[in-house]
Amino acid sequence: MKVSPGFLKWAMNIYGPYLGAGVRVKHISADWRKTHVAMPLKWYNKNIMKVHFGGSLYSMVDPHLMLMLMQILGKGYNVWDKSAHIDFIKPGRGTVHADLEISDADLDEIVAQTESGEKYFHKFEVFIRDEQGQVVAKVDKVLYFRKKPEA
């Protein structure tokens, strides 16, 4: 289903889990290639150590690559989240940010690997950074792609 970046930004910002965690989608580019999300540290999203709760850090980036690629590739492709791994590098304090990007190389590889109709798994790296630009967490996301047979 094709939607506008502005509509998805609005919908994500009123989505219950994002409201509850304090996650805000700040920008989605018109070509769906870039998304910027942020999350301030609040009383309701900090852990016992008074830093960002790890689950909230992961939720910041969880759906975006799949949603972006579904819009870029269109109805001719199946796109699913396959797996994820998060490394917590340092405690998250203050507002944390993540930039998710789809490069030309990523798209070229996905299209080439799925041209024959075979499934393909592509790995993306996303870094969550604090206000000083220091890496708080690194997320590895693997997405599943398969070109749908033409009807």
Q: Which whole-number Å values give the CA distances from 24 to 4, 73, 103, 150, in the listed order?
A: 17, 25, 23, 38
Per DSSP, helices labelled H in 25-92 are 54-61, 64-73
Q: Give the whole-angstrom CA distance, residue 23 versus residue 7.
A: 16
* 8-22 confidence digits (pLDDT tens): 999 999 999 999 899
* 21-64 confidence digits (pLDDT tens): 999 999 999 999 999 999 999 999 999 999 999 999 999 999 99
| CA dihedral over 18, 24, 30, 33, signed as positive or negative | negative
Asked if the model's pLDDT at residue 1 lies above 90, the reply is: no
Residues contacting residue 132 through CB under 8 Å, at least 6 positions apart: none
Output the pTM of the full model: 0.93
Q: Which whole-number Å values give the CA distances from 59 to 19, 24, 26, in the listed order?
A: 11, 11, 15
Asked if the model's pLDDT at residue 151 lies above 70, the reply is: no
* 103-132 confidence digits (pLDDT tens): 999 999 999 999 999 999 999 999 999 999
Radius of gyration of the chain from its Cα atoms, rounded to whole angstroms? 16
Q: Which backbone phi and psi does 43 adopt, to 5 degrees? A: -60, -30
